[in-house]
Amino acid sequence: MIFRDYKFQIVFRLGILTLLGYGLLYYTFIDVNYIRVFFLGIFSLIVLIALFYYLIRVHKLTSSFLDAILNNDFTVKYPEQHENKSIKQLFRKFNLVNERFSQSIQEQANQYQYLLALINQLKIAVVAFDARERVHVVNSAFKGLVNEKEVIRMSSLKSLSPHLYKEVISLEPNQQKVVKAVIGNTTHQFSVAASIFKLRQKQYTLVSMQDIHSELDQNEMQAWQKLIRVLTHEIMNSVAPVVSLSGSLESIVQSTNTNSFVENKKTLLEGMDAIKVRSQGLMNFTQAYRKLTRVPAPNLKEVEVSKFLQPIETLFRQSLTETDIKFTVQANGNANLLLDPDLMQQVLINLLKNAQEAVDSTNGEIRLTYNSQPDGHTTLIVSDNGTGIPEEIADQIFIPFYTTKAEGSGIGLSLAKQIIQQHGGQLTFETSNNGTSFYIKL
């Protein structure tokens, strides 16, 4: 509406100038009348000056309005009572735009204050800084960590712990790690994560830090309790019968004379053989424990997925030829993996053997799948359609020496998880009545 009226004002004045121009031409060259030419010239000059003044005024008003916007000044109030209808409407729109901008800025300020209040309630330390390590957002937990009321630069963290500062600054986008740092005379362990975001063409790093030392201590204690419980169970299973049998043999020997020795010889030999068997079992258990605690460091190599999976596929296809178990291998993509082929094949073989034991030999199905994730990670999945892992033992399957198999050692899954962790990956699982899937994320 404003611009329509603005155009009308311009066209109206140009129309008058055009008519006056025709009049000047007519009375100058056709019906010569210099008095009329003089007055028409005066009128043309007045209209031209008025048009020029109108254009300059609108331009100045618009320029002043835009300058105020560029300076984030939305407090200017333009008078809506004006004799010129176009200017009046222009001022009204100016005021409306200022009002909308003011509301938007106020909403953004409210959202920012809400965000600050939200992160200040977090017990996790949060800080955002730019490429020059200048802090732009920080919460109360981070201030409390560095023991400063105001945090201007990341050097505040450096003063607290140079090692922690170095680890935080060197974090890659979307990277998460546990950092051990000594603050004062106390050792802390922080779970540190970083992400990158851009705002107004500038890049910022957002870091979150949580002291998980107490949680790790608690988890470590629980892990030790579970391990000791299993070790005690295994050792007592071997030692108790040996002690009992030794006592019985001792009684036989003490009560045996020369005449009855031949009669008790068979009993003594059977008893000593039983002690030998149990002692060998205890020795095997000790060897298994040594194997678990001496996992070699992975010798990482770049391996093509198809070539890595081929030997495993061949091995299990041959072992399943005499059964009705369906075995499929699917590689979604053929990227290169950085891993230790021998150790990783050992993990997959262990998982596939577990899957083979879990499925029905008549209509069982086992799948080995490779997926490449958009975030750059890769996932190997071993899944079966067995009956699943019972809920009551699901949280214990990675505990060393825990097993439900009569001939099992109980170190397979715990060893597999340790190998995956040495590769910087994760071993997780999902289970239901329709089967179980183990996920290796690298």
Q: What is the mean pLDDT of residues 205-214?
A: 82
Query: Where is average pLDDT lowest: 121-135, 215-229, 387-401?
Result: 215-229
3-state secondary structure of 148: coil
**Residue 256 class from Cβ within 10 Å (0-12 exposed, 13-18 middle, 19+ buried)?**
middle
pLDDT(2) > 50: no
Q: How many CA atoms lie within 13 A of 160 on its CB side?
A: 23
Q: What is the mean pLDDT of residues 106-127?
A: 81
**What is the band of 253 on the pLDDT scale with cuts at 50, 70, 90?**
low
* 151 vs 117: CA distance, rounded Å: 17
pLDDT at 1: 44
Query: For tokens 């041959």, what's the residue?
Result: 318
Q: Look up residue 322 and give its DSSP letter.
A: T
The per-residue pLDDT for 260 is 56
CA distance 192 to 212: 10
Does position 259 have pLDDT exceeding 60, yes or no?
no
Indicate whether 162 pLDDT > 70.
Answer: yes
Residue scoring higher pLDDT (247 or 371): 371
Q: How far, CA to CA in Å, does 337 sit from each of 45, 166, 383, 441? A: 83, 29, 21, 11
What is the C-alpha separation between 428 and 317, in angstroms, rounded?
25
State in Å, rounded, how far the first CA of the chain is from the last one: 62
Q: What is the band of 290 on the pLDDT scale with cuts at 50, 70, 90?
A: low
Under the banding of pLDDT at 50, 70 and 90, the label for residue 123 is confident
Asked if the model's pLDDT at residue 339 lies above 70, the reply is: yes
Contacts of residue 170, defined as CB under 8 A and 6 or more positions apart, other chains included, come to none
Return the pLDDT at 244.
61
CATH number of this structure's domain 301-441: 3.30.565.10
Domain over 122-211 is classified CATH 3.30.450.20: yes
d(CA 340, CA 295): 12
Q: What is the pLDDT of residue 3?
A: 44
pLDDT attached to residue 418: 83
Cβ count within 10 A of residue 9: 17
Q: Which residue has the higher pLDDT, 237 or 31?
A: 31
pLDDT the model gives residue 343: 82
Least confident of 67-81, 96-110, 357-371: 67-81
Residue 295 has pLDDT above 80, yes or no: no
Asked whether the beta carbons of 434 and 385 are under 8 A apart, the reply is yes
**High-pLDDT (> 90) share of the chain, %:** 1
- Determine contact, residues 375/366, Cβ cutoff 8 Å: no
**Which residues make beta-bridge pairs with 326?**
365
Confidence of residue 161 (pLDDT cuts 50, 70, 90): confident
**Overall average pLDDT of the 171-177 stretch:** 85
Q: Is 366 within 8 Å of 356 (Cβ atoms)?
A: yes
- Looking at residues 385-414, what average pLDDT do you find? 70
Give residue 171's pLDDT.
86
**pLDDT above 70 for 236:** no
pLDDT, residue 442, reads 82
Q: What is the mean pLDDT of the chain?
A: 76
Has residue 402 got a pLDDT over 70?
no
Is pLDDT above 80 for 80? no
Stretch 91-108: mean pLDDT: 80
**Residue 125 per-residue DSSP state:** E
